[in-house]
């Protein structure tokens, strides 16, 4: 089951809803392929579906740019078969650095600077489960 959090800046009005975790749709690669927008990723997933040795891990994750603190909420997916492996990575929309996954938990301070004002700290508040 996944969790939804609201990120708030302690200085400015920045707020963002973030979905993390494992939804029902992620229990089969076929269903992941059905909602993925990126055509190249969809093709990679279909290649792995065709290989019975494939193992994978997929969930929604928070990605943060280590350089400029920009945030993206994206699908993490890693697949491995006897002949091939794939791990997704995301580039920062502002500065093109490789983004890093950040873990969030309710009431645990997020060690992130605000992407809007760059001075405030972000706080995560849990607000619902999803599946
Ligand atoms: Zn801020
Ligand atoms: Zn950046």
Instruction: Give the per-residue pLDDT at 109.
Output: 62
The arithmetic mean of pLDDT across residues 105-124, rounded, is 82
Taking the centre of ligand 1 as the mean of its atom positions, its distance from the CA of residue 127, in whole angstroms, is 20
CA–centroid distance, residue 91 to ligand 2 (Å) = 8
pLDDT averaged over every residue in the chain: 92
Determine the distance separating the centroid of ligand 1 and the alpha carbon of 12, expressed in angstroms. 4
pLDDT of 130 > 90? The answer is no
Mean predicted confidence (pLDDT) in 53-64? 96
Contacts of 128 (CB under 8 A, 6+ apart): 3, 4
Q: Cβ atoms within 10 A of the Cβ of 78, count? A: 13
What pLDDT is attached to residue 107? 63
What pLDDT score was predicted for residue 91?
A: 97
Separation CA 130–CA 47 (nearest Å): 29
Distance from the CA of 114 to the center of ligand 1, in angstroms?
A: 5
- Residue 47 confidence (pLDDT): 96
Q: Which residue has the higher pLDDT, 70 or 130?
A: 70
Give the tens place of pLDDT for each residue, 60-107: 999 999 999 899 999 999 999 999 999 999 999 999 999 999 988 776
Whether the pLDDT of residue 39 is over 90: the answer is yes
Q: Which two tokens stand for residue 108?
A: 């645990």
- Cα 110 to ligand 1 centroid, rounded to whole Å: 13
Q: How far is the CA of 76 from the centre of ligand 1 (A)?
A: 26
């Amino acid at each position: 089951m996944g969790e939804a959090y609201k990120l708030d800046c302690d200085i400015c009005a920045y707020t963002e809803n973030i979905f993390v975790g494992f939804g029902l749709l992620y229990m089969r690669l076929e269903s992941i392929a059905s909602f993925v927008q990126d055509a190249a990723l969809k093709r990679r997933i279909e290649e792995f579906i065709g290989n019975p040795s494939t193992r994978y891990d997929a969930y929604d994750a928070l990605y943060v740019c280590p350089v400029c603190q920009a945030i993206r909420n994206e699908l993490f997916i890693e697949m491995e078969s006897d002949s091939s492996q794939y791990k997704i990575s995301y580039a920062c929309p502002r500065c093109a650095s490789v983004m890093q996954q950040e873990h969030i938990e309710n009431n645990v301070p997020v060690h992130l600077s605000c992407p809007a004002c760059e001075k405030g700290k972000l706080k995560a508040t849990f607000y619902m489960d999803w599946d």
